[in-house]
Structure 1
Amino acid sequence: MSEIWIESKTLAGRYMVSSLGRIKRMAHVSTTLSGITKSYPERLIQRAKSKDYPRIILKVDGKAKAYLVHRLVAEMFVPNPNDLPCINHKDGDKSNPHPENLEWCTHQENMAHAAATGLSDCAVPVQSAKHGLGMWFPSLESAVRHTGVSKPCICAAAKKRQKTAGGMVWDYAASGMFFGDLLGEEAA
């Protein structure tokens, strides 16, 4: 695949974004407050070190700011006709900012994808068992609302960092999972 570069309007026309997820500063001339003119050559920008999503630090309008590489790529190369707020990595790999791996989505769709691929630490849906009775919740937030058990406690129990939360055993439910699966029973 050949690399395509597009000038970013988001970045004050000073930077270009590539289809391979690279960012470069465009050549430009700048004059300081003291009247000195300086030429800056075109230059590739190195990504900032991060355990999370790859990001770069760019100076726009005189201020340094961190930008997520995948968001810049999606804004330039992935159509967003429905004005959706989130960007999903189809393959679940945060370090893969190629346009064919990115898609615009809602917050809900992004969370559902994270849950389905095992990427979310506190994925939805969740379920609990107490005294042999099962409860299934469509989301972590729903479980918090209905049980009064805090989100961090439910997550810790579901991740097996602690045995119970609110006196209940918790687990992440797979789509279509029968509650007996949590209790070690067969579906009827």
Structure 2
Amino acid sequence: MAKLFFRYAAMNAGKSTALLQVAHNYEERGHRVLIYTARVDDRFGEGFVTSRLGPQRQAATFDDTTDFRAEAARSPGVACILVDEAQFMTPAQVQTLHELAHLQNIPAICYGLRTDFRGELFPGSATLLALADEMDEMKTICDCGRKATMNMRVDAQNRKVTEGAQVEIGGNSRYRSVCGRCFRSS
């Protein structure tokens, strides 16, 4: 039976790299995959899953209007749905992926952040935490050497930012992966 998976971590843990590896593994064995990334995340160009290590692959994009059920129906024989930046999905989209896994036997593997720069759940992540059949925390480390579990937004002077919109796309110059202690003491 297929499942809905949520693989989450702080930034820089290798989520996109892992997604690219899973896609390669399926395709090397002759299976078709559907790969999605959030339209809002255009740091490396729209429609690309890009690892900070360098590998990159074109992907379909999703936004609030994307209907994963219709997308799957247009792709008969798809073996797996892979979603990068899954925190940006709507709760309804997560519900749809759960239904596709359980009613159409199409596994969905979602990679994303659990929380934002304030330590609050993204709506997509909250629903993934509620519905995922399997969850895996991917690990990365804080500058202090502890396991990083938080995403800290920083300004141009590398000071912690505590207010602002939940979604602000940025990389290493805008965010740091930190442990709970460094998140609270900064």
Q: TM-score under structure 1 normalisation? A: 0.28
Q: Which has the larger radius of gyration?
A: 1
- Greater relative contact order (CA < 8 Å, ≥ 6 in sequence): 2
Say which structure is richer in helix. Answer: 2
Say which structure is richer in strand. Answer: 1
Q: TM-score under structure 2 normalisation? A: 0.28
